[in-house]
Amino acid sequence: MEVTITSENFETLKNGQKPLVVDFWATWCGPCRMVAPIISELAEKYDGKLVVGKCDVEESEELAAQFGIRNIPTILFFKNGEVVDKLVGAAGKQKFEEKFDALLA
């Protein structure tokens, strides 16, 4: 299950027990809409192993700025509170699965 990432819950999720995947996106972004069903499917598949969240860059501009998000979709992978990987732009399901698996390794 995906969670909505906001300034209010980000620090708690980032420093939680499970790794965190954050999809920075916007409603008007075509590639974001292409990636969204893949992210949703993987959020279900990896439920209980990691936390998958979506952060609307227009609603949480300060978070996007904090991580220098200039292109969307940008997916950041956090482990132990630190960014350990990043994927910019649309990608296929296999690429996302590789990144999710690497985060759990």
- Residue range 32-74, pLDDT digits in tens: 999 999 999 999 999 999 999 999 999 999 999 999 999 999 9
% of the chain surpassing 90 pLDDT: 98
- Distance (Å, rounded) from C-alpha 47 to C-alpha 78? 16
Do residues 75 and 22 touch, judged by C-beta distance below 8 A? yes
Asked if the model's pLDDT at residue 1 lies above 90, the reply is no
Asked if the model's pLDDT at residue 93 lies above 90, the reply is yes
55 is catalytic: no
- Exactly one of 5, 32, 38, 52 is catalytic; name it: 32
pLDDT recorded at residue 65? 95
Do residues 55 and 5 touch, judged by C-beta distance below 8 A? yes
- Exactly one of 5, 20, 22, 29 is catalytic; name it: 29
Mean pLDDT of the chain: 95
Asked if the model's pLDDT at residue 29 lies above 90, the reply is yes
Q: Three-class SS of residue 102?
A: helix
pTM of the model: 0.95
Name the pairing type of β-strands 74-79 and 20-25.
antiparallel
